[in-house]
Amino acid sequence: MQNKTVSKKDIDNLYEVIIKLTSKKECRELFEDLCTDKEIEQMSQRIKAAKLLMEGNTYNQVIKQTAISSATLCRVSRCVQYGKGYRNFVD
């Protein structure tokens, strides 16, 4: 459920900030300010899980390599299958 105090424009502003990034250093600096260490770890875990799934690894293999929860892995898997982000940007 979306926070009622956060508008679509606010979310679009976030995306606009992200697309201005031109280096890994800039990205690291922004995400370190924007997210907790745990949030960054969880996002990187999801990217790793998506890569492993796209390489043909089973759920059990992915869980063993990432320690990701089965619920989160299920969501990542759905996004890999039906979404656009992982397939277009994760290699």
Distance CA 19, CA 58 (A): 33
Contact 80, 53 (CB under 8 A): yes
Decide: helix, strand or coil at residue 22.
Answer: coil
Whether the per-residue pLDDT at 80 is higher than 60: the answer is yes
- Please enumerate in sequence order all residues whose Cβ is within 8 A of that of 15, keeping only pairs 6 or more positions apart, or say none: none
Instruction: Note the pLDDT tens digit of each residue in 29-56.
Output: 999 999 999 999 999 999 999 999 999 9
Domains of the chain: 1-34 (no CATH), 37-91 (1.10.1270.10)
Enter the pTM of the model. Answer: 0.85
pLDDT of 2: 60
pLDDT, mean of residues 13-19: 97
pLDDT of 87: 85
On average, the pLDDT of the chain sits at 94
Residue 47 DSSP symbol: H
Distance CA 18, CA 26 (A): 10
